[in-house]
């Protein structure tokens, strides 16, 4: 099974599906939706087989494929996956069919084309798989840039509110970041032996001139910090998350933003180890500021979709300190956080979208007591909110706990300040729940017929897999952490750091 070209087939499959869906007439919207959903299920099935074929104790990079592309530049279609890439590919495979099902009625056929919307989602899946599967720096850069195109059209053509402004802002921010990366990619090619192969570049990483490596690191880091996003490069996300359709917003914060943190782990740390250690204090400071700053802004939001977007910025701060703490615990926690955040925030965005679709408004003040009309859907929103704030028993708690204890062993101050974000998370999530579903029923809600419709069978099929995964991984994350751990340990070796060894003080007391 390992000889099967999983990654190239997995990358191209959604693109083929997008072409098929795009040629379905606009009048046959239901057929387009069924074909897109079926194609995403096919991607999921292939991903499951790849997960089974992956050997936890095997090589760091598996399913390696390489095909000639631009020989004069040393660029190839090279694909390979380590444990970090594998879990992200599985997250993509799981989220896309769920989002497609959740988006079934998101397109108004009188003004927009459903086949075009679902084709764009499949194109977006193609770019997401490609960016995580690429093992050639130039190929990674190409996928990094073209992923902007489908999401730009999804936000600008199928969004709401200030959708054109949000789409342009999203595109320009990411494009500027990509230009910084392009400069570093070219520089890396020049000093790295005129090759874009990741393995070859990692082998000579320690030989780079210190100043050169630091400048190249910054080019990559700025691009990834914008994509994640980290403070202070975050301002595009609330606008984009607020304007995008709920399903697309779930993919935006659940999958696409992970490209930034994945890029830091794969490229910044492994290719520029000394520069990563040099920049770590500043990166952790930005991450901690982002946790507190975004949480405070989330508390003051009156728009549900913008509120969820700000919570994601705070969560990415935790991922940031986990990455730059340079311990296996924190690093594993950061990668697991990427997965769990995708599940939890994906669920939260999707359920918020169900509320917004019924009310016709995303403003918190337009709700109030909605749980009296939709008790089951309100309960799902409550669960999604608790998972988002990392309640024990849900998957995000495990990753947040690992990040904090791994960070505390090397950077106690950052870990202590970051815990304030947990308190603020409880504040903004419970405030949102209380004002939307609890308390006195807003009389205006009884005048909206859709508000009297509780969760439908299709919506149950959407949320059930995410709820199940959040609970299972909350109690038994071992199958995922076993895959992540070896890749994180290899990355820490690339950086040249070791986990701190506990010391035994006089009297037998164990210290850090």
What is the length of the chain? Answer: 512
DSSP assignment string, 29-83: HHHHHHHHHHHHHHHHHHHHHHHHH--TTS-SSEEEEEEEEEGGGTEEEEEEE-H
Cα separations (Å) of 29 from 36, 119, 159, 462?
A: 11, 11, 18, 20
Q: Is residue 503 a part of any domain in this protein?
A: no
Q: Which pLDDT score is estimated for 22?
A: 93
Structure confidence at residue 208 (pLDDT): 87
Question: Which is it for the CA torsion 305, 306, 311, 317, positive or negative?
Answer: positive
Question: Is 501 a member of any domain?
Answer: no
Q: What is the pTM of this model?
A: 0.94
Any domain includes 38? yes
- 40 lies in a domain? yes
Domain around 210: 6-495
286-330 per-position pLDDT tens digit: 999 999 999 999 988 888 999 999 998 999 999 999 999 999 999
- Nearest CA to 287 out of 222, 218, 225, 230 is that of 230
Q: What is the pLDDT of residue 351?
A: 94
Q: Is residue 81 part of a domain?
A: yes
Residue 510 falls within a domain, yes or no? Answer: no
Whether 504 is covered by a domain: the verdict is no
Helix pair angle (236-243, 304-324), 10° resolution: 140
Question: Token pair for residue 91?
Answer: 């997250």
Half-sphere exposure of 291 (CA within 13 A, CB side): 27
Split into its structural domains, the chain has a count of 1
Give the contacts of 377 (CB within 8 A, at least 6 positions apart): 351, 354, 355, 454, 455, 459
Kindly state whether residue 138 falls inside one of the protein's structural domains.
yes
CA angle 227, 230, 234 (to 5 degrees): 75
Q: Which residues of the chain have pLDDT under 50?
A: none
């Amino acid at each position: 099974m390992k000889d099967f070209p999983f990654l190239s087939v997995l990358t191209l499959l959604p693109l083929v599906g997008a072409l098929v869906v795009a040629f379905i007439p606009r009048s046959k919207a239901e057929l387009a939706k069924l074909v897109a959903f079926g194609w995403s299920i096919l991607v999921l099935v292939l991903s499951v087989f790849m997960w089974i074929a992956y050997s936890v104790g095997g090589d760091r990079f598996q399913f390696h494929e390489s095909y000639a592309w631009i020989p004069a530049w040393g660029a190839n279609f090279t694909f390979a996956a380590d444990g970090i890439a594998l879990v992200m590919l599985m997250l993509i495979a799981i989220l896309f069919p769920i989002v497609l099902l959740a988006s079934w009625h998101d397109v108004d056929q009188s003004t927009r084309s459903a086949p075009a919307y679902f084709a764009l989602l499949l194109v977006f899946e193609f770019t997401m798989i490609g960016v995580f599967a690429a093992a050639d720096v130039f190929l990674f850069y190409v996928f990094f840039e073209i992923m902007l195109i489908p999401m730009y059209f999804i936000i600008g053509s199928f969004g709401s509110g200030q959708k054109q402004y949000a789409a342009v802002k999203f595109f320009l921010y990411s494009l500027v970041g990509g230009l910084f990366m392009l400069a570093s990619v070219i520089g890396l090619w020049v000093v790295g032996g005129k090759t874009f192969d990741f393995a070859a570049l990692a082998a000579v990483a320690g030989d780079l001139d210190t100043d050169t490596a630091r400048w190249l690191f910054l080019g990559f880091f700025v691009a990834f910090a914008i994509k994640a996003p980290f403070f202070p490069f975050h301002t595009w996300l609330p606008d984009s998350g607020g304007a995008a359709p709920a399903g697309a917003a779930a993919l935006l914060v659940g999958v696409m933003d992970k490209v930034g943190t994945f890029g830091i782990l794969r490229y910044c740390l492994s290719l520029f180890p000394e520069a990563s250690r040099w920049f770590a204090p500043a990166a952790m400071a930005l991450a901690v500021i982002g946790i507190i700053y975004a949480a405070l802004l989330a508390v003051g939001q009156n728009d549900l979709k913008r509120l969820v977007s700000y919570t994601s910025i705070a969560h990415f701060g935790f991922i940031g300190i986990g990455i730059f703490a340079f311990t296996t615990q924190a690093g594993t926690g950061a990668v697991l956080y990427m997965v769990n955040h995708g599940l939890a925030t994906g669920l939260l965005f999707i359920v918020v979208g169900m509320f917004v679709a019924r009310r016709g408004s995303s403003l918190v003040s337009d709700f109030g007591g909605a749980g009296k009309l939709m008790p089951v859907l309100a309960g799902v929103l409550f669960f999604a909110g608790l998972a988002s704030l990392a309640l024990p028993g849900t998957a995000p708690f495990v990753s947040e706990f690992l990040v904090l204890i791994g960070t505390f062993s090397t950077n106690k101050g950052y870990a202590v300040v970051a815990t304030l974000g947990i308190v603020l998370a409880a504040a903004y999530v419970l405030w949102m729940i209380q004002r939307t579903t609890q308390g006195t029923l807003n009389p205006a809600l009884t005048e909206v017929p859709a508000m009297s419709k509780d969760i439908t069978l299709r919506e149950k099929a959407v949320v059930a897999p995410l709820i199940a995964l959040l609970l299972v991984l909350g109690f038994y994350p071992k199958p995922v952490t076993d895959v992540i751990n070896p890749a994180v340990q290899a990355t820490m070796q690339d950086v040249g750091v070791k986990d701190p060894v506990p010391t035994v003080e006089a009297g037998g007391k164990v210290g850090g």
